[in-house]
Amino acid sequence: MARVVVDVMLKPEILDPQGQAVQRALPRLGFEGIADVRQGKRFELEVEGPVDDAALARIHEMAETFLANTVIEDFEVKVETSEGPK
């Protein structure tokens, strides 16, 4: 079964207080040198059948109408190779 990943991130201009809270905690935990953190969501979709243009179009529609709120978020659809990680 092929896997398609949808990454959803807040638009750059939208304040991300959760990312900021993570960033502020880093020095306290001994992780120095991180200037900024933005927090997003990752969806891993196990697709039945071939990941062809039609399937990708449907996934794009799904991301646009449901997985992301495009008023505040951007999304990216990526197909993971079926051979798995190299």
Partner 1 sequence: MTARPSPTATLNGGPTGRWNVRIGVVTFPGTLDDRDTQRAVRIAGAEAVPLWHRDKDLKQVDAVVLPGGFSYGDYLRAGAISRFSPLMETIIDQAKAGMPVLGICNGFQVLTESHLLPGAMLRNNHLHFICRDQKLRVESTSTAWTADYTAGQEISIPLKNIDGRYVADERTLDLLEAEGRVAFRYLDGNPNGSLRDIAGITNEAGNVVGLMPHPEHAVEPLVGTGRTDGLGFFTSILKKLVNA
Q: Which two tokens stand for residue 4?
A: 């398609």
Segment near partner 1 (CB under 8 A); pick from 14-22, 26-34, 44-52, 54-62: 14-22
Does residue 69 bind partner 1 (CB under 8 A)?
A: yes
| DSSP assignment string, 3-70 | EEEEEEEE-TTS--HHHHHHHHHHHHTT---------EEEEEEEESS---HHHHHHHHHHIIIII--T
For residue 48, the minimal CB distance to partner 1 (Å) is 21
Segment near partner 1 (CB under 8 A); pick from 28-36, 50-58, 61-69, 74-82: 61-69
Q: Which of 66, 82, 84, 86 binds partner 1 (CB under 8 A)?
A: 66
For residue 29, the minimal CB distance to partner 1 (Å) is 18
